[in-house]
Amino acid sequence: MTDNPALRSARVELTATAGVLLTLLVARIAAIALDPGQLYADETQYWIWSRDLDWGYFSKPPMIAWIIALTTSLFGQADWAVRLAAPFLHTATAVFLGLTAARLFGARTGMWTSIAWITLPSVWLSATVITTDGVLMTSWSAGLYCLVRLRQGGGWPSALGLGLAAGLGFLSKYAMIYFFLGTALALVVDQPARQALLTLKGAAALALATVLILPNLAWNSAHDFATVTHTAANANWGSNLFNFEELGQFLVDQLAVFGPVFFPVLLVAIVQAVRGARQSGPARPRLMLALYSLPILVIVCLQAFISRAHANWAASAYAAGLVLTVAFLLSGPAWRRYALYGSVGLHALVGISMMVLAASVPLSEAAGVANAFKRVRGWDQSTAELSAAFERSGADALVFDNRNDFHQMQRYGSVDGEALYMWLRHEGALNHAEQGWPLPDGYGAPVLIASERPEEIPVIERDFARFEAFGEITVELGGDRRRHYDLFLAQDYRRVARSPEYEAQIERERASSSD
């Protein structure tokens, strides 16, 4: 008996998708294992969190720490074990997005959505380092899939899966709040979503998500909502408003995050989905997908215009956005298919090239891209030289003015952790290092200060009765990059209050010295 052609085609597409995902999963695990660099400072911070499990941390919810705790408990504390979950998380995201696309637009769209995700420019990096975005996107894509199932008449597993994904997503990164925003908009304009969610099943999904979220909210309440303070500092609304340059830079960055063809196509597909909502029938899946993408892009663009926005702040827009983009490119004129195939090929070529360059220091230097890897190189030498300088100094403590250096010393250095402290530039803590290890006011013993911020040295000096130079350390990182520390022996720490008058005086002195 001959198989149904549609069924046979679906099997081929499923096999092709599985082959691509498995091949890249194995390649990325190998890349992590063979990486000659060290962890990024943010990864090291997450690793530190994983050694003291809690319901929240200064700047992020706890999921990433829990995941690192799991992988390192199974495989040890090596750098590759810290990062091991990353390729699996993105593979799971690709699967969920592919399943979502297949339900809405057919098996072929599902296949290309999975392949497009796993080869996205940003995913090539994110799948080999452990980040909150990688953790978030797994829950986000799972939530989107469960919502689509529920919207199409799914039962209790879909409802409970939606609640579980929404709750775990919030515990992964607070950007999951955009998912709740998209769902609220879907309730207003999408009848199938409204019929699915305004039911006992929808209420159960919301209840489950709430139960999962509450412990983190309680942690934030008990810690003076440190995350809110951190988010406000990141938003930087106190700076000059209305920055066309920042907005332009953010939009250009999205060409690298989502792809030079995918990003403009997504904008066109969103416009088409909104304009065609009345003509697309009662289900209107394209409009629903736009609701989980457009608001995020608008909000982050406004943030960039008002102040600034990092390139990854709109990452959650690209889950539903990718399904919408692939569906658009697989319909209509033939050039759209060529744009899809060409984009996936280009992304794969660039990603594989960067993976090869990252695995070889000499090769990256010969290609002139060593600067791209400067943040993960030289930490073993940097911490070794700092440790040696600390031993020579005879000081009781080693003090940093940069959280990145502090956390890398915690992981790679030989100095006892109880002798490591952070100097606080501002009135209160602005990061986890300053919150957990501030140099106690009134600390009278001699300390060795390692400063990577020359502009702060006069400010540091004001806080000590004794302050004298103790040399410097420079570590070559390849290319034209280096890591430089100015060292100082200091004693009798008496922190000057960071009053408005004090800050004004500092600014006047800096302006005077730059004239």
- Per-residue HEC secondary structure of 208-246 comes to HHHHHHHHHHHHHHHCCCHHHHHHHHHHCCCCCCCCHHH
User: What is the arithmetic mean of pLDDT over 458-480?
Assistant: 93
> Which phi and psi angles does 447 have, rounded to 5°?
-130, 150
| Residue 355: φ, ψ to 5° | -65, -40
Tokens of 95: 């699967």
Q: Residue 231: which pLDDT band, with cuts at 50, 70 and 90? A: low
Q: Is 115 helix (H, G, I), strand (E, B) or coil?
A: helix
Tokens of 267: 């904008």
- Mean pLDDT for the chain overall: 92
Instruction: Map residue 198 onto helix, strand or coil.
Output: coil
Residue 367 has pLDDT above 60, yes or no: yes
**pLDDT over threshold 80, residue 230:** no
Element (H or E) spanning 487, and its range? strand 481-493
Q: What is the mean pLDDT of residues 230-251?
A: 72
Q: What is the mean pLDDT of residues 215-241?
A: 73
Query: What are the boundaries of each domain within the chain?
Result: 5-361, 378-514
Residue 283 confidence class, pLDDT cut points 50, 70, 90: very low
DSSP state of 442: T
Taking CA 125 as the corner, what is the angle to CA 119 and CA 128, rounded to the nearest 5 degrees? 100
Q: What is the pLDDT of residue 1?
A: 44
**Which residues are paired to 486 by β-bridges?**
451, 472
Reported in sequence order, the residue ranges of 239-340 that DSSP labels E, i.e. its strands, are: none
Give dist(CA 441, CA 459) in Å, integer.
15
Question: What percentage of the chain reaches a pLDDT higher than 70?
Answer: 95
Q: Percent of the chain having pLDDT more than 90?
A: 78
Task: Tell me the pLDDT band of 515, cut-offs 50, 70 and 90.
Answer: low
Pairing mode, if any, of strands 447-451 and 481-493? antiparallel
Q: 0.85 exceeded by the pTM? A: yes
State how far the Cα of 174 lies from the Cα of 308, in Å rounded to an integer.
Answer: 18
- 240 pLDDT band (50/70/90 cuts)? low
pLDDT of residue 478: 77
